[in-house]
Amino acid sequence: MRSKHIRATKQFMLFVFALALSAPATVIWAQGPDETSQIATEVIAEGLDQPLFVTHAGDERLFALEKPGVIQIIQNGKILPTPFLDIRDLVVSDASEQGIFGLAFHPDYPTNGHFYVSYSSQQSDGAFVLARYERSETDPDQADPQSAAVLLDIEHRRDNHYGGMLAFGPDGYLYVSTGDGGGAYDPDGNGQNLETLLGKLLRLDVNGDEPYAIPADNPFVGVENAREEIWAYGLRNAWRFSFDQLTGDLYIADVGQERFEEVNLQPADSIGGENYGWPITEGSQCLPAGSGCDASGFILPIAEYPHADGENFLGCSVTGGYVYRGNPASLHYGTYFYSDYCTGTIWSLDQETDGEWQSAIALETSLTVSSFGVDFNGEIYLADLVGGQIHQLTLPDETPEPVAPSLQPAVIAAGGASCVATVSWIDVSDDSTVRWNGEDLPTTRTGPDSLSFTIDSHHIAEPGTAQVVVATRGSGIDESPPAPLEIVGGLIEGQAIANTWERTDYPVREGLVSRTWIWGPAGMFCATSEPYLDTPGGTRAVQYFDKARMEVNDPSGDSGSIWYVTNGLLVTEMITGQMQTGDAAFEPREPSAINLAGDLDDIAGPTYATFERLLDLEPHPTGSAIVQRIDRAGNITQDDTLAQYGVLAAMPAPDTGHTVAGPFWEFMTSSAEVWQNGALVNAQLFENPFYATGLPISEAYWTTVRVAGTQQDVLVQAFERRVLTYTPANEPGWQVELGNVGQHYYFWRYGEFPFPPSYGE
């Protein structure tokens, strides 16, 4: 949703739909373009014969339809000498609403050369025709007129209300609008008649059978006495409709009879079948006026305007337009523009944050706006029928005064561990980088306006203020104003967390040793706080890593103790569905359905929820071979071939009654090179074997899962704090690994991954 972009000099109308059947979204109309809006039109081609439409074929060329039946190419502001296609011998254009109506290029046009046109047929007594043509095999600026294949030939008894707009939707299907067949007040009743294609929006699969196939999810497939091509109905003359290129929402402008013009919205997730009311309603009003009508289930317009307001003539025929998706920095990005053929007024339409639709006059012109169109870059054009010109709608550079990016976090502790921060700004693009006091840092694009970047521990060794800048070439802006990031001293928790990480994982990250990560290469986020009932102030310092979450429950405790920083009982929480919020306080959740081991999208292996039913099973006898295999459903089977790996049940654990598997106990009690006092020393990897993992809460079981896309036999065991896996096929040092419990828990707790997982499971 966009906030209001064009402020009106005076408000002149607020529709209160006294006769409305059910209240549509409130539409506030405002007159007089704001003097600061500076919207204008610029002629980019002239000398056309009654232009009716303009579009593109996926490149820089523009294609303009001339009413008599000619398609011209505009390139670099010039009309090419030879038309792209001339079918004047097929088109009847004598009446004001006859001619060539629509043009749509197939999404695969660069490879298949297919495009589609609609017109009133000279050969079929004015019938509505939809035909497919192909590009010339020898000249990309020429169509092959002999390649015509007629898809639809719909009888049309009158010479008006043809509709005729063509557009491919985000789903790859061809959408076609048809008018009600002409005449006043739909004399044939076509708008509400599902046995005719007139007065409808059609949805066709032109990639299937000839001449076309019916999409299986069209709303009237298999419905008796209904044409299966129909996607929506109750339309009078939907001359122009368009899809929002970003959201997929469909805007349908339907030309009214005598009182109202309307714009309808069909959301991108529509399943079709909408009834827009014609001829029972005109806009949101019953027809005839004041008659009263039963129109339950009708879709009401998001915007409508009367032909007159007292003595003021406002228009007579709406020309639907497009949502602007050109320059993302423009304040008009996301605004829908449309016009009226009789007045030349160009309107803007935006949805406010409260759901109301705000329409305002963007520009008053003397043009006869027959159509809008867009080019390959999302810029908007309009066709002036009488003037024979194509204009570009020029939107001013309305980028606001440069604002500093926002940072999360904006304050971090000096001496903390390396961590990931997020910066958001209006002009982030794929080639944007983050500069930290002038130094470029590695970044990852995390959203349309955000980047994540890694702050290394040496950047935050001392208190101070860093200047964070987003540098980009996306739209001509070299770099953002700086955003200050404070590095504050005195937070002993941050230093303690950093020391805990550094002891085991700094040597791995720096390439001094080759072994599995205990925590991960850096914090997923910089240290922050989470609610916890039994800590001072009701919050505690935490930092998420790929493999775990570090936490400090008592900041006044002995910071030299290995238990000053602990890692949460995250595995227990995810398996039991009890999120811990205090020493004896829990919030019930569903057990986590994330895979315990293997790739996240693997469908075969066990999840945390799978292990819920395994917590109370009898332990493997000490010294026995572990040959039990588990599947996703929790079924346990014996597979004696697993004895080849020589894995034994090694160590009964105190309190829980479960037995630690041999490879895991060997890992938990191993000596290794760790970082201590600025140097590598050989010491116990864990000062207490259960420090990182907690006690085992299940037995170890084999499972077969995909690891980086390859099927592997993997031994898995759940501990209170960690999941350990043993993959015999891995290289030494990486056979025993700790699962990405920190990532998994963050998703389980907050509903989203902080960034795409990239390490192991």
Written in H, E and C, the secondary structure of 476-530 is: CCCECCCEEEEEECCCHHHHHHHHHHHHHHHHHHCCCCCCCCCCCCCECCCCEEE
With 0.75 as the threshold, say if the pTM is over it: no
Average pLDDT over residues 362-389: 96
Cβ neighbour number for residue 225 with a 10 Å cutoff: 8
Which amino acid appears at position 246 of this protein?
A: L
Average pLDDT over residues 489-500: 72
Rounded Cα gap, residues 132 and 148, in angstroms = 6
397 band by pLDDT with thresholds 50, 70 and 90: low
Ramachandran sector of residue 589 (left: φ over 0; alpha: ψ -120 to 50; beta: rest) = beta
Average pLDDT over residues 558-584: 92
What residues form DSSP beta bridges with 123? none
Sign for the CA dihedral angle at 144, 147, 150, 151 comes to negative
Average pLDDT over residues 727-755: 88
Average pLDDT over residues 695-710: 93
Average pLDDT over residues 659-681: 95
506 pLDDT above the threshold of 50: yes
What letters, b where the CB count within 10 A reaches 16 and e where it falls short, cover 702-728?
bbbbbbeeeebbbbbbbbbbbbbbbbe
State both tokens at 130: 């939809």
Measured CA distances, 48 to 52, 65, 383 (Å):
10, 9, 10
Contacting residues for 210 by C-beta, under 8 A, at least 6 apart: 149
Containing H/E element for 662?
A: helix 662-668
Tell me: the pLDDT tens digits for 4-42? 223 222 232 333 232 333 334 444 444 444 433 578 999
Average pLDDT over residues 669-682: 94
What residues form DSSP beta bridges with 348? 337, 360
Average pLDDT over residues 510-530: 88
Tell me: the pLDDT tens digits for 260-274? 999 999 999 999 999
For the chain, the helix, strand and coil percentages under 3-state DSSP, each to the nearest 5:
10, 40, 55
What domains lie within the chain, and their CATH numbers? 10-394 (2.120.10.30), 406-490 (2.60.40.10), 493-750 (no CATH)
Q: What is the DSSP string of 152-218?
A: EEE--SSSS--EEEEEE-TTSPEEEEE---SSTT-TT--TT-TTSSTTEEEEEBTTSSSS-B--TT-
Measured CA distances, 38 to 2, 77, 246, 714 (Å):
19, 23, 25, 65
Low-confidence winner among 211-220, 538-547, 667-676 (lowest mean pLDDT): 538-547
535 pLDDT above the threshold of 60: yes
Rounded Cα gap, residues 720 and 609, in angstroms = 14
**475 within 8 A of 400, measured Cβ to Cβ:** no
Residue % of the chain over a pLDDT of 70: 91
Which of 506, 584, 572 lies closest to 741, judged by CA?
A: 572
More confident residue, 563 or 752: 563
Range of 227-231, 293-297, 324-328, 511-515 with top mean pLDDT: 227-231
Q: Are strands 411-413 and 483-488 parallel, antiparallel or unpaired?
A: parallel
**117 within 8 A of 88, measured Cβ to Cβ:** no
Average pLDDT over residues 515-527: 87
383 band by pLDDT with thresholds 50, 70 and 90: very high
Is residue 573 helix, strand or coil? Answer: helix
pLDDT value at position 600? 85
Average pLDDT over residues 626-640: 94
pLDDT value at position 468? 85
200 class by beta-carbon count within 10 Å (0-12 exposed, 13-18 middle, 19+ buried): buried
What residues form DSSP beta bridges with 43? 391
pLDDT value at position 754? 56
Contacting residues for 375 by C-beta, under 8 A, at least 6 apart: 56, 60, 62, 381
Which amino acid appears at position 93 of this protein?
A: S
Q: What are phi and psi of 501, to 5 degrees?
A: -65, -45
pLDDT value at position 310? 75
SS (H, E, C) 336-361: EEEEECCCCCEEEEEECCCCCEEEEE
pLDDT value at position 29? 46
> Residue 600 carries which DSSP code?
T
195 class by beta-carbon count within 10 Å (0-12 exposed, 13-18 middle, 19+ buried): exposed
Our CA dihedral for 118, 120, 123, 126, rounded to 10 degrees, sits at 150
Q: Are strands 406-408 and 419-424 parallel, antiparallel or unpaired?
A: antiparallel
Measured CA distances, 58 to 84, 230, 240, 374, 737 (Å):
15, 28, 20, 11, 49
pLDDT value at position 13? 33
Average pLDDT over residues 413-433: 77
As a whole number, the mean pLDDT across the chain is: 88
24 class by beta-carbon count within 10 Å (0-12 exposed, 13-18 middle, 19+ buried): buried
Measured CA distances, 2 to 13, 350, 357, 378, 569 (Å):
21, 6, 10, 18, 43
192 pLDDT above the threshold of 70: yes
Average pLDDT over residues 245-263: 95
> Residue 299 carries which DSSP code?
P
Containing H/E element for 744?
A: helix 741-750
Tell me: the pLDDT tens digits for 82-104? 999 999 999 999 999 999 999 99
Our CA dihedral for 731, 733, 735, 736, rounded to 10 degrees, sits at -170
